[in-house]
Chain A
Amino acid sequence: MSDQTQTEKENLVMEHLVSLTYRERLTPNLNRFVDELLEGRLVGHKCPSCGRVYLPSKGYCPMCVVATSAEDEVEVPDTGTVTGFTIVTPVAYYGQQETEPFVFASVLLDGADTPLNGQDVTGLPHDQLRTGLRVKAKWKPKDQRSAEGISNRGWGSMGTVVDSFEATGEPDASEELFKDHIF
């Protein structure tokens, strides 16, 4: 067929670059999470039925299928455990700013039941990164924090508020403690 008989002739191509900048309102639940995050507090919802803690909360517990609200708010500490990770080599797609391999880790905060995905982990070389590693949030100074990068379709983004999770040097957590909350 046609692809088998491709001619030498160059196809005519017209370059036409379009840029679109847009603003998006965060959902009320995410908005509330970000307000607290900017103040240095990590706030989620505790399901009134099963007690699982979701952070950030989407306003419901998917296990019990019940709505959660401001009445169910709980604060969790900024310490946690690495439950899964990879090292990503950037492919340099349009708009990507990373140029060097970077960490993409899931961090389960103490007292939460779902991890924050896509976190940077610092304080140790990449080849020593492991599940079970204990970490603590490294906060940006208050005047440098913003919600930039946090989206309704986010992947656990902490905006420019938490730079990374830094290894604490504590003994690793036992897998038994986090095995049902890895992803």
Chain B
Amino acid sequence: MNERCAIVGVGQTHFKKRRDDVSIAGLLREAIDRALADAELTLRDIDAVVIGKAPDAFEGIVMPEIFLADAVGATNKPLLRVHTAGSVGGSTLVVGAHHVITGIHGTVLTVAWEKQSEGNAQWGLAGGRSGGIGAGGAFAPWMRAYIQQSGAPDYIGWMVAVKDRRNAAKNPYAHLKMPDITLEKVKESPMLWDPIRFHESCPSSDGACAAIVTNEEGAKRAPRPPAWIHGLSVRSELGQFPGRNPVRPQAGVECAHDVYRQAGITDPRSQIDMAELYVPFSWYEPMWLEGHDIAGPGEGWKMVDTGETDLGGAFPVNPSGGVLSTNAIGASGMVRFAEAAQQVRGLAGEHQVDGVRTALAQAYGGAAQYFAMGVLRNTPPE
């Protein structure tokens, strides 16, 4: 059984360095309440809840979905936890949607979060030991390899950082809003993990994102335009094996090809109107443009250079400001899907791209080894 499926409600918290004003449960409920209000539903209308977050070591609470069950409205309902590192927000939405597409449930609440101020992600990634390098240190050699292979000039990374921070200034939920950022400021910021500078790196945020997925009947009842799901895919590969190309991981290539095929897309660059890609460090924008075959080899950085990925460009990437501006790790993948949904619904506000009919959402995680992708449209699948 293949039910049509749509996103009919999305909710994000305001993202900040510290959300001392709410507990973890309160943080999730803030996103959930906004998503329910958007869909004009109550928790009674929800059949099941899927919850996602990155490693438990980030807050030091093991299996937090158990104590959160009541707060997320899962009392006496099926509750499922997803964990696929940084891609988890995307995978969580995919898992929720699969329960609708297969006809198991009619309406599913998906929610993803991180409250990084309650712990230390660098400490968590290092297993509490010295010598930790953070995510930036793990990805930096691959960004160096991309720069070397593609011949991209240094300023491409700075351009992505400037674009995303300026876009974030138009997004009321974004963490870092820097309308006055310049290439000079990015270039002069401290080097963290060569070649990544401070302003080319994501922040640590507290925040949550929720999305309600439902079947065709649910979408018909929705008070606002639904974002129809035309393709969903997850793929993974080992983090290390001989012959692995972490600059263009095969799992990412196959995940992209799978969603394009499902959505009938043969030329992503012309048939997709905008994309929300998981770009925690500036160089990942051109790397994913190439890694998902939106641009040819060595062409991704040229899309950045010519302004094609700007808010007013031919292929806008991360009009929300992206992960570079807001990174509550577990939530970040779902924010990509939520922002893509708002774009096809025409509800993105000040960072709305004109005339979006088809949007791409992507999240990645681990050693660039887990991928979750989706294609959303403003019209239902045929």
Interface on A for B, CB 8 Å cutoff? 1-4, 6, 11, 52, 62-63, 84-89, 91, 93-98, 104, 106, 113-114, 117-118, 131, 149, 151, 153, 157, 180-183
Q: Select B22's contact among A2, A98, A104, A183, beta carbons within 8 Å.
A: A2
Given contacts A151-B127, A180-B242, A88 and B193 within 8 Å (CB-CB): yes
Q: Tell me, rounded to whole Å, the shortest Cβ–Cβ distance linking A168 to chain B.
A: 21
Q: Tell me, rounded to whole Å, the shortest Cβ–Cβ distance linking A144 to chain B.
A: 18
A157 and B133 alpha carbons, distance in the complex (Å):
13
In this complex, the member of B20, B126, B129 whose beta carbon has the largest number of chain A beta carbons within 10 angstroms is B129
Dominant SS at the B interface? loop
A93 touches B126 (CB 8 A): yes
A153 and B238 alpha carbons, distance in the complex (Å):
14
Q: Select B142's contact among A62, A87, A183, beta carbons within 8 Å.
A: A183
Contacts of B131 in A (CB 8 A): 96-98, 118, 149, 157
Interface size range of chain B in the complex: 35 or more
Interface on B for A, CB 8 Å cutoff? 13-14, 16, 19-22, 26, 30, 33-34, 120, 122-123, 126-134, 137, 140-142, 144-145, 148, 190-195, 238, 240-244, 246
Given contacts A86-B194, A180-B243, A91 and B134 within 8 Å (CB-CB): yes
A3 touches B19 (CB 8 A): yes
B132 touches A93 (CB 8 A): yes
Q: Tell me, rounded to whole Å, the shortest Cβ–Cβ distance linking B11 to chain A.
A: 10
Contacts of A93 in B (CB 8 A): 120, 122-123, 126, 132
A153 and B19 alpha carbons, distance in the complex (Å):
32
Q: Select A88's contact among B22, B137, B246, beta carbons within 8 Å.
A: B137
Listed A/B pairs (21) with beta-carbon separation below 8 Å = A1-B33, A1-B34, A2-B30, A3-B16, A3-B30, A63-B242, A63-B243, A86-B140, A87-B193, A89-B193, A91-B122, A96-B122, A97-B131, A104-B141, A106-B141, A131-B148, A153-B127, A157-B131, A180-B242, A180-B243, A181-B243
Q: Tell me, rounded to whole Å, the shortest Cβ–Cβ distance linking B215 to chain A.
A: 29
A96 touches B132 (CB 8 A): yes
A11 and B18 alpha carbons, distance in the complex (Å):
12
B142 touches A118 (CB 8 A): no
B242 touches A85 (CB 8 A): no
Q: A3-B14, A97-B130, A98-B131 are in contact. List 9 more A-B contacts (CB 8 A).
A: A2-B21, A3-B13, A6-B21, A11-B21, A84-B145, A86-B194, A95-B123, A149-B129, A149-B131
Q: Which residue of B lies closest to A129 (CB)?
A: B194
A3 and B14 alpha carbons, distance in the complex (Å):
7
A62 and B236 alpha carbons, distance in the complex (Å):
14
Q: Tell me, rounded to whole Å, the shortest Cβ–Cβ distance linking A5 to chain B.
A: 9
Q: Tell me, rounded to whole Å, the shortest Cβ–Cβ distance linking A2 to chain B.
A: 5
B126 touches A104 (CB 8 A): no
Contacts of A62 in B (CB 8 A): 238, 241
A3 touches B242 (CB 8 A): no
A104 and B150 alpha carbons, distance in the complex (Å):
23
Given contacts A95-B129, A151-B127, A114 and B190 within 8 Å (CB-CB): no
A29 and B122 alpha carbons, distance in the complex (Å):
28
A183 and B122 alpha carbons, distance in the complex (Å):
22
Q: Tell me, rounded to whole Å, the shortest Cβ–Cβ distance linking B316 to chain A.
A: 28
Q: Tell me, rounded to whole Å, the shortest Cβ–Cβ distance linking B8 to chain A.
A: 21
B242 touches A113 (CB 8 A): yes
Contacts of A106 in B (CB 8 A): 141
Contacts of B140 in A (CB 8 A): 86, 88, 104
B30 touches A182 (CB 8 A): no
Q: Tell me, rounded to whole Å, the shortest Cβ–Cβ distance linking B90 to chain A.
A: 23
Q: Select A98's contact among B26, B33, B128, B130, beta carbons within 8 Å.
A: B130
Q: Tell me, rounded to whole Å, the shortest Cβ–Cβ distance linking B231 to chain A.
A: 29
Q: Tell me, rounded to whole Å, the shortest Cβ–Cβ distance linking B373 to chain A.
A: 22
Q: Select B126's contact among A84, A87, A96, A183, beta carbons within 8 Å.
A: A96
Q: Select A89's contact among B22, B148, B190, B243, beta carbons within 8 Å.
A: B190
Q: Which residue of A lies closest to B241 (CB)?
A: A62
Given contacts A2-B30, A89-B191, A84 and B242 within 8 Å (CB-CB): no
Contacts of B122 in A (CB 8 A): 91, 93, 96
Contacts of A2 in B (CB 8 A): 21-22, 26, 30
A181 and B145 alpha carbons, distance in the complex (Å):
13
A-B interface, 5 closest residue pairs, ranked by CB to CB distance from nearest: A86-B140, A84-B141, A93-B122, A97-B130, A113-B242
